């Protein structure tokens, strides 16, 4: 069977234990480190697999706060955490797990359906249970997780309702209920989602994905009240849920459904959350993860540790923190909210008690990897903590930090100082304000290593490798700041994983290539259109952000390994959403391929395109319905008529543009060089030009002139005039007869002034231009400037004469007489 085939549930062999007496017993510790630990005194595990089950599953679930209260020896079936006999528990557990595909285990799907999650987040419980069962299933050292394709339920594209883009209907129906009852927690400055924001547009954007226009009762806003009993008003959750459902119904009742054109050649339909096959773990190396944050919950004040390693090191979000659609958190700076209240910079912090597991497990191994997907908010922040296990800004065990365009690692060991950073090089500028995969490795043999986007930076740790025995177990894990709040970092964090073994370079590269965020495989059924059983066109799909979806890497596959396509034409593939084709983002509209055995590989399929696209989110990943359409697939075709272009409006009669323009940066530099005789290659001139180049005008439109432009022009003029007057040959050519050796008190008598102003006017100022001042006006201004600069009289510095000439030169060279054209 191919690794991409549909996988049947694997039923383990139940171990039949003899009822004979004399059975050995053994007191075994519970290795989960949970509170309320259960000490096992029953029969010893009969096989190595039973022992592995105990260590990975039973130890973690036997406590009363998880499954022990209901599924123990005297509880309800299945008694998979039987505290009296782990062998019987093992036999029961085998009936509800799928060791080949742990995420499809009955134990997992039952909790995913709402059955007794011990955390606020059902998805966190699902992830943790999947991890426990995966650990039981085992695998070789350094194994990578894989994803196996399964056929979804087949359904036709239906008539769907899309929520309007404007908040008008929302503002008169649902919004008043939210602002009345939910604003204390979900208003501005409260916790996400901001469904009761004072800004109705913000509230609507946050609420849309929580409203089901096809089934108002299934809306998240309703279910949180009806089933989760979340902050109901008047102590009546049923009445609260009924009111919310009624208001949603009022909002959507007049919205019309969008049917699919029956003439279209369309695939089967899919919903991202209901039908998508989670693709995130495929190919990742996570054998030694001891803390994992994927930020899946999307609301509230807790980021759950889903590593499955107890105790769970959950993080509390505080300050300016927002959830990012498609998994992640965004950490912002301190500032005032719309109500005028100060909100501190965002951070996510664990307790010192739970953080102690990092000390225990990392000091035991003596090595670690800190892996993070981050998007820095800018490249100007310094000493900004991204991930830190520390006590303050100056005391730490290990810290990953940003300083401008450098990633820095501060680390305590027996051979290194905790406050001396090891960093990427400034010149490399590896840190960019975009999504990046960053890994920090440490072993005593190699020291610290930094990887960015799967590639080692090549920086060599100046310290010898040491031990971690001096680490402090009273510190806390923090994301986005220090424990004392004095080193805030701005940006988005999409994933953090802490490993108690260093990843190999190959594993780092593999984890980078897997990517990050909530990703799914969507299998669009096309068997009804072509003569190939169990055939699908598969996309990798993710929620790109809070407003869009990303579709990429389409390929064709049959889940029947014996089937192959034969000369099947596929032309003009488009994405449909909620009953209609998406108006933008149709990257495969010109696709023209043939599905054929020569290009098809059983088990992996046939790639269709390397292109990807972005389409707009409408109702949210829980409600939007997707399908594909084709101009041709096999013998089925659709005669598409492209819509005619709308008539073009008459161009507006704009105000006439000015006949006066500006010289641009390169023209200014060249003009000043020619007028002064100073070459552009003069080192001082070149350095100044390089510094202010981006500050000089880039377009000739005079309406775009800014004060910053004038400041840059002035600096250029000063530098050119300084180079001119400082060069005896050039200044004698420019100002013949002027005595630069004379003191300032006598050099600028009437005759001396004219020896300076005359050449400046003739070389720098245009002639016969009605829109500029006359020569006499300019001479008067320059004479006044010289008088002010020589008012020191006999007390002037010896070089004041040169300084006055330089200033007079710069005043004319940096004025509009040379800038305007």
Picking from 166-175, 470-479, 610-619, 768-777, which range would have the lowest pLDDT averaged per residue?
768-777
Assign 633 a pLDDT band (cuts: 50, 70, 90): very high
Tokens 């004479």 belong to residue: 783
Q: Mean of the pLDDT values across residues 758-777?
A: 83
pLDDT at 173: 94
Q: What is the DSSP string of 694-741?
A: GGS--S-BGGG--HHHHHHHHHHHHHHHHHHHHSHHHHHHHSTT--TT
pLDDT at 146: 59
pLDDT at 37: 66
pLDDT at 280: 58
Q: How many CA atoms lie within 13 A of 472 on its CB side?
A: 17
Q: Quick check: 174 pLDDT over 60?
A: yes
pLDDT at 21: 35
Q: Quick check: 32 pLDDT over 80?
A: no
Q: How far separated are the first and last CA of the chain, in Å rounded?
A: 76
| Alpha helices per DSSP H over 94-173 | 106-112, 122-137, 168-172
Neighbours of 392 (CB within 10 A): 14
| Alpha helices per DSSP H over 62-173 | 68-71, 86-93, 106-112, 122-137, 168-172
Cα(733)–Cα(750) distance, rounded to whole angstroms? 21
Tokens 């419980």 belong to residue: 125
Assign 144 a pLDDT band (cuts: 50, 70, 90): low
Cα(407)–Cα(439) distance, rounded to whole angstroms? 10
On whether the CB atoms of residues 477 and 315 are closer than 8 A, the answer is yes
Cα(507)–Cα(359) distance, rounded to whole angstroms? 24
Cα(309)–Cα(33) distance, rounded to whole angstroms? 9
Assign 515 a pLDDT band (cuts: 50, 70, 90): confident
Q: Which of 387, 407, 384 is nearest to 399 (CA)?
A: 387
Cα(379)–Cα(373) distance, rounded to whole angstroms? 16
| Residues of the chain above pLDDT 70, percent | 93
pTM for the predicted model, two decimal places: 0.59
Q: Mean of the pLDDT values across residues 26-39?
A: 51
pLDDT at 544: 80
- Angle (deg, nearest 10), helices 800-813 and 665-676: 130
Burial class (CB in 10 A: 0-12, 13-18, 19+), 189: middle
Q: Quick check: 694 pLDDT over 60?
A: yes
Q: Quick check: 380 pLDDT over 50?
A: yes
Q: Which of 784, 740, 743, 734 is nearest to 761 (CA)?
A: 734
Assign 267 a pLDDT band (cuts: 50, 70, 90): very high
Which are the contacts of 392, defined by CB distance < 8 A and separation ≥ 6? Answer: 482, 483, 484, 486
Helix (H, G, I), strand (E, B) or coil at 683: helix
| Residues of the chain above pLDDT 90, percent | 49
Cα(708)–Cα(398) distance, rounded to whole angstroms? 43
pLDDT at 492: 93
Picking from 306-310, 543-547, 739-743, which range would have the lowest pLDDT averaged per residue?
543-547
Cα(253)–Cα(435) distance, rounded to whole angstroms? 41
Tokens 């800018």 belong to residue: 378
More confident of the two residues 264 and 547? 264
Q: Quick check: 766 pLDDT over 90?
A: no
Q: Mean of the pLDDT values across residues 642-670?
A: 81
On whether the CB atoms of residues 113 and 126 are closer than 8 A, the answer is no
Cα(395)–Cα(472) distance, rounded to whole angstroms? 9
- The rounded Cα 116 to chain-centroid distance in angstroms is 32
Structure tokens at 626: 């997707």
Q: Mean of the pLDDT values across residues 484-498?
A: 94
Q: Quick check: 16 pLDDT over 50?
A: no
Q: Mean of the pLDDT values across residues 743-771?
A: 86
More confident of the two residues 26 and 701? 701
Q: Mean of the pLDDT values across residues 693-701?
A: 85
CATH 3.40.50.720 fits 289-487, yes or no: no
Picking from 188-197, 216-225, 318-327, 395-404, which range would have the lowest pLDDT averaged per residue?
188-197
pLDDT at 145: 54
Assign 8 a pLDDT band (cuts: 50, 70, 90): very low
Q: Quick check: 20 pLDDT over 60?
A: no
Domain segments of the chain as ranges: 1-138, 168-252, 289-487, 519-637, 665-819
Burial class (CB in 10 A: 0-12, 13-18, 19+), 455: middle
- The rounded Cα 611 to chain-centroid distance in angstroms is 21
Burial string for 149-180 (b: 16+ CB within 10 Å, else e) reads bbebeeeebeebbbbeeebebbbebbbebbbe
Best-predicted range by mean pLDDT (10-19, 251-260, 313-322): 313-322
Q: Quick check: 447 pLDDT over 60?
A: yes
Q: What is the DSSP string of 533-557?
A: TTEEEEEEEEEEETTEEEEEEEEEE
Q: Quick check: 468 pLDDT over 90?
A: yes
Burial class (CB in 10 A: 0-12, 13-18, 19+), 141: exposed
Output the CA–CA distances (angstroms, integers) from residue 228 to 120, 156, 232, 325, 702, in the order listed.
9, 32, 10, 22, 62
Picking from 125-139, 423-437, 639-653, which range would have the lowest pLDDT averaged per residue?
639-653
């Amino acid at each position: 069977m191919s690794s991409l085939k549909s996988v049947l549930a694997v039923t383990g062999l139940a171990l039949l234990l003899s009822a004979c007496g004399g059975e050995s017993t053994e007191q075994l510790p519970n290795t989960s480190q949970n509170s309320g630990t259960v000490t096992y005194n029953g029969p010893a595990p009969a096989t190595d697999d039973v022992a592995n089950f105990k260590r990975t599953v039973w130890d973690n679930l036997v406590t009363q706060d998880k499954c022990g209260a209901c599924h123990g020896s005297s509880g309800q079936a299945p008694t998979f955490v039987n505290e009296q006999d782990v062998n019987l528990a093992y036999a029961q557990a085998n009936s509800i797990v799928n060791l080949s595909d742990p995420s499809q285990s009955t134990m997992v799907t039952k909790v995913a359906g709402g059955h007794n999650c011990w955390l606020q987040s059902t998805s966190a419980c699902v992830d943790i249970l999947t991890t426990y069962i995966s650990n039981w299933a085992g695998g070789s050292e350094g194994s990578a997780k894989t994803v196996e394709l399964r056929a979804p339920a087949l359904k036709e594209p239906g008539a769907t309702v899309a929520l309007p883009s404007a908040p008008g209907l929302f503002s008169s129906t649902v919004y008043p209920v939210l602002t009345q009852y939910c604003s204390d927690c979900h208003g501005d400055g409260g916790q996400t989602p901001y469904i009761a924001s004072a800004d109705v547009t913000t509230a609507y954007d946050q609420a849309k994905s929580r409203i089901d226009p096809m089934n108002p009762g299934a809306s998240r806003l309703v279910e949180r009240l009806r089933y989760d009993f979340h902050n109901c008003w008047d102590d009546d959750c049923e009445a609260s849920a009924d009111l919310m459902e009624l208001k949603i119904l009022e909002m959507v009742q007049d919205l019309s459904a969008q049917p699919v054109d029956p003439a279209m050649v369309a695939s089967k339909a899919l919903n991202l959350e209901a039908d998508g096959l989670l693709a995130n773990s495929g190919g990742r190396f996570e054998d030694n993860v001891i803390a994992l944050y994927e930020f899946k919950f999307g609301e509230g004040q807790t980021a759950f540790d889903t590593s499955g390693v107890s105790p769970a090191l959950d993080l509390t979000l505080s300050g300016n923190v927002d959830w990012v659609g498609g998994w992640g958190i965004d950490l912002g700076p301190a500032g005032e909210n719309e109500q005028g209240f100060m909100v501190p910079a965002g951070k996510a912090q664990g307790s010192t008690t739970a953080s102690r597991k990092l000390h225990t497990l990392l000091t035991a191994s003596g090595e670690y990897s800190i892996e993070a997907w981050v998007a820095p908010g800018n490249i100007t922040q310094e000493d900004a903590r991204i991930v830190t296990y520390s006590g303050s800004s100056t005391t730490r065990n290990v810290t990953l930090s940003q300083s401008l365009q450098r990633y820095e690692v501060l680390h305590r060991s027996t051979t290194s100082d905790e406050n001396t950073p090891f960093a990427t090089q400034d010149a490399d500028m590896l840190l960019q304000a975009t999504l990046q995969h960053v890994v920090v490795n440490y072993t005593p043999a190699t020291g610290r290593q930094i990887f960015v986007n799967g590639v080692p930076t090549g920086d060599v740790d100046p310290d010898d490798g040491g031990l971690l025995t001096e680490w402090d177990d009273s510190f806390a894990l923090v994301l986005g700041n220090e424990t004392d709040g004095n080193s805030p970092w701005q940006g988005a964090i999409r994933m953090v994983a802490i490993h108690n073994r260093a990843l190999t370079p190959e594993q780092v590269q593999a984890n980078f290539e897997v990517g990050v965020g909530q990703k799914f495989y969507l299998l669009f059924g096309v068997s009804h259109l072509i003569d190939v059983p169990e055939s699908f066109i598969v996309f990798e799909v993710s929620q790109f952000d809070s407003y869009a979806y990303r579709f990429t890497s389409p390929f064709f596959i049959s889940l029947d390994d014996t089937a192959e396509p034969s000369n099947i034409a596929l032309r003009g593939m488009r994405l449909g959403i909620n009953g209609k084709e998406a108006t933008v983002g149709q990257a495969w509209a010109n696709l023209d391929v043939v599905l054929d055995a020569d290009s098809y590989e059983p088990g992996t399929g046939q790639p269709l395109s390397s292109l990807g696209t972005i389409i707009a989110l409408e109702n949210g990943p829980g409600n939007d319905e997707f399908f594909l359409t084709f101009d041709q697939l096999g013998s089925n075709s659709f005669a598409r008529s492209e819509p005619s272009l709308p008539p073009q409006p008459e161009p507006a009669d704009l105000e006439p543009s000015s006949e006066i323009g500006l010289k641009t940066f390169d023209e200014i530099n060249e003009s000043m060089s020619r007028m002064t005789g100073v070459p552009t290659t003069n080192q001082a001139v070149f350095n100044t030009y390089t510094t202010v180049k981006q500050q000089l005008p880039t377009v000739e439109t005079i309406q775009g002139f800014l004060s910053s432009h004038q400041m840059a022009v002035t600096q250029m003029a000063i530098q050119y005039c300084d180079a001119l007057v400082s060069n005896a040959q050039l200044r004698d050519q420019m100002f013949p007869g002027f005595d630069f050796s004379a003191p300032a008190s006598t050099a600028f008598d009437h005759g001396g002034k004219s020896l300076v102003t005359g050449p400046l006017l003739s070389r720098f100022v245009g002639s016969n231009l009605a829109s500029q001042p006359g020569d006499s006006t300019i001479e008067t201004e320059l004479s006044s400037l010289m008088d002010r600069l020589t008012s020191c009289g006999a007390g002037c510095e010896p070089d004041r004469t040169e300084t006055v000439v330089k200033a007079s030169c710069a005043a004319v060279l940096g004025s509009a007489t040379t800038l305007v054209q």
